[in-house]
Structure 1
Amino acid sequence: MVMIVVGGMIGLGKTSVATILGEHLKSDVFFEKVEGNDILPLFYTASPEEQEAKRYPFLLQLDFLQSRFKDIKRALVHPHNVLDRSIYEDWYFAKVNNDLGRISDIEFKLYEKLLDNMMEELDELPKKAPDLMIYLQGSFETVMSRIAERGRDFEQDDELCDYYYALWKDYDQWVMEQYKASEVLIINMDEMDVVNSKEDRETFIHQVDEVLTKMNLI
């Protein structure tokens, strides 16, 4: 059984890369719940006053947390498993929103208690952590370009630039210094177009297979 999570900044192509991996490994892919998520557009478009009153950042992180936990449990019944973003990254997003004052200290403590309880429950399962995180890394310019290209209306407001930067600036450090759940394969999305270039896609698949072979997982 192989469990892979695809992580990285908003806009860098996690869903597309996860789809490519799923096809290669003949696995179902457990996607981040974006389409049909009623809270997500409100998180991006609400005024600071509405955010304060309605607590959309906290509600969104709780929603992502419960859906991620559900996906992990579902994924464990498959021989190969690909997940679009990890439950560990959810904590990073919640922490950044706490640092920005969008999630209160009390809310963040509650979030961490819920996460700890979920992780304790995962300890009882045959596999509680991924084998590999594929981390999509890119410059801030690439992140902003990709967000613009995919054209989700609620992501395009210029005022969101500071929020995207706050997420991006410490993401590499968090992955390299704090993330300990699995091995990490870094894919530089400034240099590779895994989605649109057949050559880059083949190189990417080869890199993944090479890592999994070294880990005796394929």
Structure 2
Amino acid sequence: MKGEQNAVIVLAGMIGAGKSTYTALISEALGSEAFYESVDDNRILEKFYEDPKRWAFSLQIYFLNTRFRSIKDAFKHKNNVLDRSIYEDALFTRINYEQGNMSEPEMDTYLDLLENMMEELDSMPKKSPDLLIYLRGSLDTVLERIEKRGRDYEQVEKNSGLLDYYKHLHSRYDGWFNGYNKSATLTIDIDQYDLENPEHAEAIIDMVKKRLNEVRSETETAPVVSP
């Protein structure tokens, strides 16, 4: 299978949607390199959950920097799966701004930096992913998975403001996805699939392969536009 499904694939979805698990499954099946966003190396994340107004801007700059580096590496390697990408980063920043965790000058600074980074990506030989996979599911499913993976600082019963944050973020994801236009997309309903079930895992891989083949066919038949 190595190289047979050569493509840059990015995962998107709520906290707790299962992006890392899906990344491992898809990258192994397609013989791709997996890019994971490290939680253990992030010295700001837990601080953010403790005091979001103090740390929101610092956290979003940290994520923006690491996601920018990852997508550049992904475009150079051209055969990989990323469990989170720069394309949904602004959604998290917007939510923090709307909840009063970031000031307007901080939001403007972030957006200006993001625009500069996106302009640099546009100058690369490969400018966008081949496929974005949106892991869409109910808030109940997401909260259940957050509880199951057991990171203390993510648990709603230990932080009275977290549930509101999760609800706000979840309510905005479909709108973000509907506005995404950088690549072809595939939506997977995580309420219907359990990757611990081999039949479900196989069905997911079949869906991804089918969509990649469709993307290739669309690319090969696209008309050439003269400059």
Please tell me whether the aligned partners of residues 33 and 67 of structure 1 are also in contact (alpha carbons under 8 angstroms).
no
CA drift at 1:14: 0.2
CA drift at 1:79: 3.7
Q: Which amino acid is the alignment partner of residue 143 of structure 1? A: V
Instruction: Determine helix, strand or coil for the equivalent of 1:206.
Output: helix
Q: In 2, distance between residues paired with 1:38 and 1:163?
A: 21
Residue equivalent to 1:42: 47
Please tell me whether the aligned partners of residues 27 and 34 of structure 2 are also in contact (alpha carbons under 8 angstroms).
yes
Q: In 2, distance between residues paired with 1:14 and 1:21?
A: 10
- Higher Rg: 2
Residue equivalent to 1:16: 21
Please tell me whether the aligned partners of residues 27 and 78 of structure 1 are also in contact (alpha carbons under 8 angstroms).
no
Q: Which amino acid is the alignment partner of residue 17 of structure 1? A: Y
CA drift at 1:126: 1.1
Cα displacement string for residues 15-55 of structure 1 (whole angstroms, at most 9, x for unaligned residues): 01011111112111111131221100011123xxxx44xx3
- Unaligned segments of structure 2, at least 5 residues: 1-5, 220-227
Q: Which amino acid is the alignment partner of residue 171 of structure 2? A: K
Residue equivalent to 2:180: 179
The answer on 1:191 being equivalent to 2:176 is no
Residue equivalent to 1:101: 100
Residue equivalent to 1:126: 125
Residue equivalent to 1:25: 30
Taking the TM superposition and a 5 Å limit, the aligned residue runs for 1:45-84 are 45-46=50-51, 51-52=52-53, 55-84=54-83
Count of paired positions: 210
Q: Which amino acid is the alignment partner of residue 148 of structure 2? A: E
Residue equivalent to 1:6: 11
Please tell me whether the aligned partners of residues 6 and 84 of structure 1 are also in contact (alpha carbons under 8 angstroms).
yes
How many percent of aligned residue pairs carry the same amino acid?
Answer: 46
Residue equivalent to 2:225: none
Q: In 1, distance between residues paired with 2:139 and 2:213?
A: 32
The ranges of structure 1 where at least 4 consecutive aligned residues each deviate by more than 4 angstroms after the TM superposition are none
Determine which structure has greater relative contact order: mean sequence separation of CA pairs < 8 Å that are 6+ residues apart, divided by chain length.
1
Instruction: Determine helix, strand or coil for the equivalent of 1:76.
Output: helix
Q: RMSD between aligned alpha carbons? A: 1.5
Please tell me whether the aligned partners of residues 184 and 215 of structure 2 are also in contact (alpha carbons under 8 angstroms).
no
